[in-house]
Copies of this chain bind each other. A is one copy, B any other.
Amino acid sequence: MEGNFIYHNPTKLYFGEEAMSHLGKELKNYGPTVMLSYGGGSIKRNGIYDAVVAALKEAGKNIVENPGVMPNPTYEKVLEGCRLVRENGVDLILAVGGGSTIDYAKAVSASAYYDGDAWDHYWVHQENPVCQTVPVGSVLTMVGTGSEMNGGSVITNRKAGFKLGKVFGPGLYPKFTILNPRFTMTVPHYQMVAGFFDIMSHLMEQYFAGHADCTTDYLNEGLMRSLIHSTRIAAKNPQDYEARANIMWTATWALNTLLKCGKGGDWEVHQIGHAIGLVTDATHGMTLASVSLPYYRLVMHDGLHQFVRFAVNVWGVRPDGKTDEQVATEGLECLEAWMKEIGVVTHSRELGVTDQNIPAIADAALILPVGYRTLTRDEVVDILHQSM
């Protein structure tokens, strides 16, 4: 463990097939008016909406409907939520959906009572809002972002022309989250495996940094090994409860701040992935998958010890009689084989990347001066070419 850090994660998790049965008791901790934030109609088709509304009615709550939260929630939509909160004196925002919906609920919570331009507030403020906030609870229906147990919130401001990723402090983490693995089973196959890779990417982004021996890396290896095992099963049989349950739990712990304790992180794959998403509108997890192999093949030489460790401890590569470079390379071959097995995109041209739009993507990719190597713009271009 290097340096000094604070770990504080007060989110209460209810896990399992019966997790929803706790919602009624949990709702007693909050006032009478609950804003129900959700996306499209999928939760109405699969019965989750009805179950949540039944629990709210049983608890005697007034429901303020706030549907239509989009996959990339906009600032305009945040303002709509803020208005609903103020007009109705909302006591709890209950987000039902995936990471986007929970991100949105946090943004509304932080902004609703700010006396001024909420976007400025949202952007400028370092960690915790200075105004009154509204408690957020969540019912998770798609795994990946970890928003159910962290302070992350990504909002798109079309006027300003960019997406803004915020990480709030524990005061804005969901107070509680309902995690029922069955709720994730109706996600379409493409989105499901994209989510699987998103989780793996969160793990790798935090793993590939640092030179010290750190307990955090051992925990990360455990989560990677569990994820690899369970995604192999779930990709073939999405209805396998045990596998989906393990994946749901892994996703939550992959990004709830535990895995950054006592070490740095990388996050460059996410920067290039976001840039691809901005230009092509491709699914987030797939953009990460498309560039991970060329990226890691480049930085492997700078963080060789960790790539050797990745090969041996995560993939079971035997190092006997091989050079470190050979072992590390074999580890990345195992990663590639797993990606093909679960069926994620390994070529960015499948996502709409072309020789023509590579310069625009490279321009949009933020280069972070952390991890094992700080890329040059030329290297970003090279990675994108190799990713095609």
The residues of A with any CB-CB pair to B shorter than 8 Å are 1, 3-19, 22, 170, 181, 212-216, 218-223, 225-226, 229-230, 242-243, 245-246, 248-250, 253, 261-262, 313
Known: A3-B16, A12-B8, A13-B6. A249 touches B262 (CB 8 A): yes
In contact, A15 and B6 (Cβ under 8 angstroms) = yes
- Rounded to whole Å, the gap between the CB of A243 and the closest CB of chain B is 8
Chain copies in the assembled complex: 2
The interface centre, meaning the residue of A8, A218, A245 with most chain B CB atoms within 10 A of its CB, is A218
A245 CB to closest chain B CB, in angstroms?
Answer: 4
The interface residues of chain B lying within 8 Å CB-to-CB of A230 are: 213, 215
Tell whether, in the assembled complex, residue A223 and residue B214 are in contact, meaning their CB atoms are under 8 Å apart.
no
- Say yes or no: B1 contacts A6, CB within 8 Å: no
A/B interface sample: 30 pairs, CB < 8 A: A1-B15, A1-B181, A1-B246, A1-B248, A3-B16, A4-B15, A4-B16, A5-B16, A6-B12, A6-B13, A6-B14, A6-B22, A7-B15, A8-B11, A12-B170, A15-B261, A213-B246, A214-B246, A215-B222, A215-B223, A215-B230, A215-B246, A215-B249, A218-B222, A219-B219, A219-B223, A219-B226, A219-B253, A221-B222, A222-B223
The answer for the CA separation of A215 and B212 in the assembled complex, in Å, is: 25
User: Which B residues lie within 8 Å of A253 (CB)?
Assistant: 215, 219
Query: Could you tell me if A218 and B225 are in contact, using CB atoms closer than 8 angstroms?
Result: yes
Once the chains are docked, how many angstroms separate the CA of A9 from the CA of B19?
Answer: 17
Residues of B close to A13: CB separation below 8 A: 6-8
**What is the minimal beta-carbon distance from A215 to any residue of chain B, in angstroms?**
4
- Can you name the residue of chain B whose Cβ is closest to the Cβ of A246? B215
